[in-house]
Structure 1
């Protein structure tokens, strides 16, 4: 696949991870033409570790200026690649062919966005491992505008944990919003589809990435998502989260019980309650701030 490749990694106190991640990127069979790390004024050894990689471009910003959409947009425009890959600091390519695999679908000129598969870390809770397996299956998929009615909200599923963008398509639809709190990847995916571009889920491009969130963290995360999803009804249309959420819960609970993780199943049920309440409260807050009823 022809074209220059840029990789962008936002960091904050990533001292335990960033050296290994950058080394893994430099060892790829398809080496990136450019690696940019944008660091939110880390207080640990992150910047020291980055400077061990002289070919990596380090950009330091004030922490209060970081924004999921705005910072990534600024860095993409700073980069030079025809294809721009985003990774989070805790997403580790599982092999040296990750870049080659995630850019392969761009051989189709109609593909604007490719996102990869997330495999759980060894320390992932049983429920988290099943959630990753449900959300990131082993079959690749090409999504078009015609798939929105059947897939619903899942049509817009994307993740900047491990995603690649065609620069021309990104600029054509206006890029990420500069003031979005989260889900910038979902909203631009929706714009791509509505504009006639294709999105690809490439199951062969894998990274190791998972989280063991506390109930409080899960609530906060879903509250923010609820706010942003409510604010973006014009882009998402009538696609509902509830049906997809129910399917995930059913799959995960069933898997936990089959594996004999009864206590973990009970914990996951409580976890889902925090997710649901957080999301609904976020949507209510967004509706209230716009002076309308839900």
Structure 2
């Protein structure tokens, strides 16, 4: 693995407050990447200026209207050289200098096509957000194969390009990310990889600091888009319902908030979940009507 080319790709938009720390962290990893590519969607802050302070980083600039979660990442990957290609979002900071080495470790198994890492909440994360992250990204690593889809359902396809790594040959074999796709490009390619016989690994040792304190309006919009795309991709996701996994997450979060005595946070979280649910259902129904 040490002799293998490693590429890191980071899409950015107005990342001036965080991109320098992220690039510096990557440049000091125990396994330094062979190339780092930043794809900037015509930021109107100082993002590109900060990137240019790192001369080894390759900067690609696209028009903001041309950004696409699948197409933009696919374009950058096809311009990269690494046998293994790592994606990070601009607001995901590796927790330590061993992040790259950790996320590459599972690729020692030649059947592994995709590895994604653990997301640790930021210090300012709401209590509920911290619990949701701990539920979704636990401390135990695991491997998912085609045979696991039957019992895991939709959870088998969980993956996140917040911090993920792909084996180039596997990625290209299944056709890469779709273009266009509004969101969840990582989930859909995970499904295609599994159906093609590749393994997907959650590597808990590969940790990044990442979380969001979304408003209710943002949650509605985010889950509406997810509902649209998930409904459009029922052919590869199957009929596994999302509600079962969602209810399990809600129960976990509410129980822990109750033990912490955070009653007002429970109320806020339940309302938040309502916006998620309504947004997802509306997106799903709108996609059905248009199909």
1:164 is the counterpart of 2:165:
yes
1:213-228 equivalence runs, <5 A: 213-228=214-229
1:185 Cα deviation after fit? 0.1
SS at 2:70 equivalent? helix
1:70 is the counterpart of 2:71:
yes
SS at 2:116 equivalent? strand
Match of 1:4 in 2: 5
Match of 2:41 in 1: 40
1:3 Cα deviation after fit? 1.4
Output the CA distance in 2 between the equivalents of 1:162 and 1:224.
21
- The more displaced of 201-210 and 236-245 is 236-245
1:239 Cα deviation after fit? 1.5
1:9-88 equivalence runs, <5 A: 9-88=10-89
SS at 2:245 equivalent? helix
1:100 Cα deviation after fit? 0.2
Q: Which sections of structure 1, spanning at least 5 residues, go unmatched? A: none
1:119-140 deviation per Cα after TM superposition (whole angstroms, max 9, x unaligned): 0000000000000000000000
Match of 2:252 in 1: 251
* TM-score, structure 1 normalization: 0.98
Output the CA distance in 1 between the equivalents of 2:206 and 2:288.
38
Output the CA distance in 2 between the equivalents of 1:232 and 1:124.
31
Output the CA distance in 2 between the equivalents of 1:34 and 1:108.
23
Match of 1:149 in 2: 150
Output the CA distance in 1 between the equivalents of 2:95 and 2:53.
22
RMSD: 0.4
Match of 1:175 in 2: 176
1:15-56 deviation per Cα after TM superposition (whole angstroms, max 9, x unaligned): 000000000000000000000000000000100000000000
Output the CA distance in 2 between the equivalents of 1:139 and 1:120.
17
